[in-house]
Amino acid sequence: MNFFQRKAKKNLINFIKDDIVDIYVIPNKRNRLYKRKDGRLISHRALMKVIRGLMKEKSRHRICPLCYEEEVPNNNATDGLCVNCYNANKYEENLPDPDLSLMEDNFMYAKGDFHIHSTNSDGKYDVKSLIDRYIDKEFDIIAITDHDTMEGCKEAIEYGKTKGFKVVPGIEISTKYNGEDIHILGYFKEEDCRRDEMIEFAKVKQQDRIDRCKKIVSSLKKYFNIEISADELLEKTEGMIGRPHMARAIISAGYATTMEEVFTKYLDDNSPAFIPSSFLTPQEGIDLLRRNNATVVLAHPILIKNTKIEDLLNTFKFDGIEAIYGLNSEADTKAFISICKERDLLITAGSDFHDYNTSNHCNIGDISLGIDSIDKLLKTL
Ligand SMILES: [Zn+2]
Ligand SMILES: [Zn+2]
Ligand SMILES: [Zn+2]
């Protein structure tokens, strides 16, 4: 690149920096929208046209703004490009992208899911496969929120980067309050995806689950004369061991035929073989997240039955509510959103995806959060 070519490139970059205040990235690059200072949105294609026009005016030496190598002919027949680039870029599909890495801070994301489980807890798919599946559904940002662990977050962030896809590190912490589960979502800055205290927390929870599995297996023997091997179970299980794994082992050992039967007969909360997990209180969960710089969001408020949401919000300090969730009716969602507005809380949305077509969680693409709410959430990180 010679002096004039460098200068041409610099003009191009300055133009984009000065005029474009936000970028709405839709995964299909041809759908990228740019917000200009005057508030208008322009498409990628239109922007390229503006840039070409500008280059035509500014570059006295008429160097092609795409290749920075060839001269632009004087006859105006090539749309401000050199002959080679004009021919190569005649068709819309071939338009080149401007260098967006220069503006990463201004990125706006258009479609997000902020509640997803991977194989690091009880989800079916590993983080890479999840990201590929979300890209297919035209998402451009997700949060991985496994139960009580952030194990997959770093890998997810790194893999996402290779695909131009944003991953927010997250976690879903189970707490107990007023006789029921209160789940709390934490969202972290990228650089906080491997905090010591969070890693230690995951280790303790993992050990709890192992101990509990062993206890349940021995009480299944004691109360129901069911023999399954805890060691085998632990060895076979990827991610977090829980009652569904034990239930499947009971079925394959021939003591029952359906999951429902296993739970009603042997494993539900009222069974003598059941051992409750140890839980944090919501305050302990919130404190843990806050100590580690996280944004704290109340997960699926629709599932909370024993406490009024308003009372919960008065008692504990959340930054936001998962107001958009698959089990909500339309009226529920409206009510949660108006609570958020009244109390100046973030609105988030989550599919709680574990696997396709499960009864109480959504599929990929069923639930998404839009540009403005994503932007507000990201600004807290
Ligand atoms: Zn789960
Ligand atoms: Zn949950
Ligand atoms: Zn969940």
List, as one string, the DSSP characters of 51-100.
HHHHHHHH-TT-B-TTTSSSBPPTTSTTTTS-HHHHHHTSSGGGPPPP-G
Name the residue among 86, 85, 68 with its Cα closest to residue 77.
Answer: 86
66 with 166, same domain: the answer is no
Q: Which ligand is nearest to the CA of 354?
A: 1
243 with 361, same domain: the answer is no
Q: Is residue 146 part of a domain?
A: yes
Calculate how far, in angstroms, residue 146's C-alpha sits from the geometric centre of ligand 1. 8
Gap between the Cα atoms of 172 and 355, Å rounded? 17
Calculate how far, in angstroms, residue 354's C-alpha sits from the geometric centre of ligand 3. 8
H-helix or E-strand spanning residue 132: helix 127-136
Structure tokens belonging to residue 140: 């451009």
Calculate how far, in angstroms, residue 123's C-alpha sits from the geometric centre of ligand 3. 9
Q: Is residue 273 part of a domain?
A: no
290 with 358, same domain: the answer is yes
Domain span including residue 293? 110-195+279-379
Calculate how far, in angstroms, residue 345's C-alpha sits from the geometric centre of ligand 1. 25
CATH number of residue 326's parent domain: 3.20.20.140
What is the DSSP annotation of 279-333?
-B-HHHHHHHHHHTT-EEEE--GGG--SS-HHHHHHHS--SEEEEEETT--HHHH
What CA–CA distances, in Å, run from 319 to 68, 146, 271, 290, 311? 48, 19, 37, 10, 15
187 with 289, same domain: the answer is yes
Calculate how far, in angstroms, residue 242's C-alpha sits from the geometric centre of ligand 1. 10
Calculate how far, in angstroms, residue 123's C-alpha sits from the geometric centre of ligand 1. 7
330 with 220, same domain: the answer is no
Calculate how far, in angstroms, residue 359's C-alpha sits from the geometric centre of ligand 2. 14
Calculate how far, in angstroms, residue 324's C-alpha sits from the geometric centre of ligand 3. 13
Alpha helices in 225-266 (DSSP H): 230-236, 243-252, 259-262
Calculate how far, in angstroms, residue 164's C-alpha sits from the geometric centre of ligand 3. 25
Gap between the Cα atoms of 106 and 125, Å rounded? 31
Gap between the Cα atoms of 18 and 6, Å rounded? 18
Q: Which ligand is nearest to the CA of 352?
A: 3
pLDDT in tens, the chain (381 residues): 444 445 555 555 566 667 776 766 555 444 566 777 776 666 666 666 666 665 555 555 566 666 666 777 776 677 667 787 777 655 444 444 544 444 455 567 878 999 999 999 989 999 999 999 998 888 889 999 999 999 999 999 999 988 878 999 999 999 999 999 999 999 999 999 999 999 999 999 999 999 999 999 999 999 999 999 999 999 988 778 888 899 999 999 999 999 999 999 999 989 999 988 888 999 999 999 999 999 999 999 999 999 999 999 999 999 999 999 999 999 999 999 999 999 999 999 999 999 999 989 999 999 999 888 998 999 999
CATH number of residue 217's parent domain: 1.10.150
Calculate how far, in angstroms, residue 184's C-alpha sits from the geometric centre of ligand 3. 9
Q: Is residue 272 part of a domain?
A: no
Calculate how far, in angstroms, residue 117's C-alpha sits from the geometric centre of ligand 3. 6
| Residue 266: CB atoms within 10 Å | 23
Q: Which residues surround ligand 1, an ion (CB under 5 A)?
A: 122
Structure tokens belonging to residue 94: 């071939």
164 with 24, same domain: the answer is no
Out of 82, 106, 130, a domain closes at 106
Q: By the 8 A CB rule, do 35 and 98 touch?
A: no
Out of 223, 239, 267, a domain closes at 267
295 with 240, same domain: the answer is no
Out of 62, 85, 106, a domain closes at 106
Amino acid at the residue 230: A
336 with 361, same domain: the answer is yes
Gap between the Cα atoms of 368 and 377, Å rounded? 14
Q: How many domains, the chain? A: 3
348 with 320, same domain: the answer is yes
230 with 290, same domain: the answer is no
Calculate how far, in angstroms, residue 336's C-alpha sits from the geometric centre of ligand 2. 17
Calculate how far, in angstroms, residue 226's C-alpha sits from the geometric centre of ligand 2. 30
Gap between the Cα atoms of 240 and 145, Å rounded? 14
Gap between the Cα atoms of 334 and 328, Å rounded? 9
186 with 215, same domain: the answer is no
94 with 122, same domain: the answer is no
Amino acid at the residue 329: S
Q: By the 8 A CB rule, do 150 and 125 touch?
A: no
